[in-house]
Amino acid sequence: MKWRILLFPVLLSNILFAQTNDEIQKLQDFTKIYSVVRHFHPSDESAQLSWDAFTVYAVNEILKTKTENDFESKIKELFIPIAPSITFGTTKYKWEINGEKPIYWINSGVASGSISKSGTFMRKRSNEDSIKIKLTNVPQPKDSYTLRLSNNFIVNIPLIVYEKNGQTQPVGEIQKYADLKATAFDNRVAISNVIIMWSGLRHFYTYQDEIDIDWDNILKKGLEESFKNKTQEDNFLTLRRFSHHFRDGHMYISYPEFTKKNSFLPPIKLKYLQKTNQVVISDLLFPHTDLKKGDVILYINNVNPIELINTSKLTFSGSEQYTTHLALKELLKGKENSTIVLTLDNGKKVELKRSFIAYQNPEFFSKDNNIEIEDMKNDVLYLNLQNLTAKIATENLAKIQSSKKIIIDLRGYPKRGEKTWQLLANNFFNDRNNVKFISSPKIQNPFYEDVVYTDFHGWDIKKNKDLTAKIVLLVYEGSGSFQESIPTYLKGNGYATIIGRTTGGMNGDRNDIHLLSGMTYSYTGLKVRNPDHSLFHTKGIVPDIFVEDNIEDIKNGKDTFIEKAIEYLSAE
């Protein structure tokens, strides 16, 4: 009888976390209605609703329905209080207009749920007195949007409404949802996170016109997987796999509770050698009797590190080169004081303890070196923007001006809290070719329809004298965003030769959006193209001269990138 006792909890668990095709289809249909009403229907009720809490409530209500008629009735019950002009079937709402101005959302990226503080991503309704959005000539949206869903269920959602006596018409029943609050985590919350994320990206993801995205299938698979999520960690990993489809290096699922517990590292750094497909130890925080720079790792806890990288890449979003970079950084992470066993090509097995956190040891884990500015051999001046402060740069402006050979290292993100690059640009780098590479989408209709863009713009720097130095920029696959804007500008203006490896291909401001259970997601909100308007996203900046790391340089403590740059600058 013992096996029956053991079997029952397993069967019960499967029943509790199972789902039917009908349930998935209902949730898909709900998500499409929800996404349009949340992001494009401009009623007062929609603007005031606590949308994240509503999502969980609505998912619970949808999953109670048994038949298609039940489902359609529930949709009406859920949405009419917040979108009272919504209609179903072939009849659209008839407005009585007596000179009232149209009211609609003016969108600059996903703003419902946005926590970004740059001011780039926001929205206002057209009836508000002060509309501080960096968009001009914003087109008016369509009057309404018609969704044709499964089982011939037709929903008409107004994108423009009108107001009377300071209240959008007709008046809804927002008070019905006044008491909605956050709930404890369960798979309904997990499902809601997929719905929230898909909804924002489906209408506002800037690169959906440049890469192939099977939106319906991604939603279906995300819902199916989230049904099985029993913990926040399950949901976090589901959302990370969900993000992989969008190939956006700015897309990241943040869950501090997980990161805090699972980001401990042993005291070593790794490099991936593309040419030989090897993972090697590139540096050690402390001397170790059984480890040295250049050791090749055959197995990590008895698993081939290349297999681990390929699996981990599926939990990151971005280009091929950038997800490889992220997976390598993730390779050794784990819980505090957990152990990791490395099998080396010399036959040794070495056990290490994970007891360090990267952000607490940035000099070792996050930097190639600690140099700000330094004279190197052959009269080459080296600047590392990851370390260089505006103060030190200011003190060395004359030195930079007189130098004939300069390396600018962009393998690390320019030092935060400083405006070192702006200082250098304003002193030395005129926009002599009028380089333009950034644009903002104007998204007024659902499903990225009829999108127009602002004119492309750049930095338009018109000050002081140009440098006459021969300049090299160092980049690699981990260079992204601002690290890509700088070489785009300098290369476009003919100032520099780029040495290294193809960059991440992820430029454009990041927008961060609330999810449930303390999570957030982010995505790239601006459109970036190369100065010749060819595609940039995922492709990155291709260097003029490629550099591959090699074991000999690693063993000898040499920086292959810097050595190659000095060699190039020293050639006649």
Q: What is the mean pLDDT of the chain?
A: 93
Residues 359 and 463 in one domain: no
pLDDT beyond 60 at 1: no
Domain endpoint, select from 316, 346, 364: 364
Residues 403 and 355 in one domain: no
The answer to whether position 218 is within a domain reads: yes
Tell me: the pLDDT tens digits for 348-373? 999 999 999 998 999 999 999 999 99
pLDDT score, position 12: 47
- The structure tokens 């509309």 sit at 131
Tell me: the pLDDT tens digits for 186-222? 999 999 999 999 999 999 999 999 999 999 999 999 9
66 alpha-carbon distance from chain centroid: 37
pLDDT score, position 491: 97
The answer to whether position 3 is within a domain reads: no
The residue among 11 and 324 whose pLDDT is bigger is 324
pLDDT beyond 60 at 5: no
pLDDT score, position 6: 45
The answer to whether position 105 is within a domain reads: yes
Residues 284 and 205 in one domain: no
80 alpha-carbon distance from chain centroid: 34
Residues 379 and 509 in one domain: yes
The answer to whether position 6 is within a domain reads: no
pLDDT band at 36 (very low <50, low <70, confident <90, very high): very high
Residues 262 and 381 in one domain: no
Residues 359 and 410 in one domain: no
pLDDT score, position 570: 97
The answer to whether position 207 is within a domain reads: yes
Count other Cβ atoms within 10 Å, centred on residue 387: 21
DSSP letters spanning 337-395: T-EEEEEETTS-EEEEE--EEGGGSHHHHS-S---SEEEEGGGEEEEETTT--HHHHHH
Domain count, the chain: 3
Tell me: the pLDDT tens digits for 471-504? 999 999 999 999 999 999 999 999 999 999 999 9
For residue 330, what are the domain limits?
258-364
pLDDT band at 119 (very low <50, low <70, confident <90, very high): low
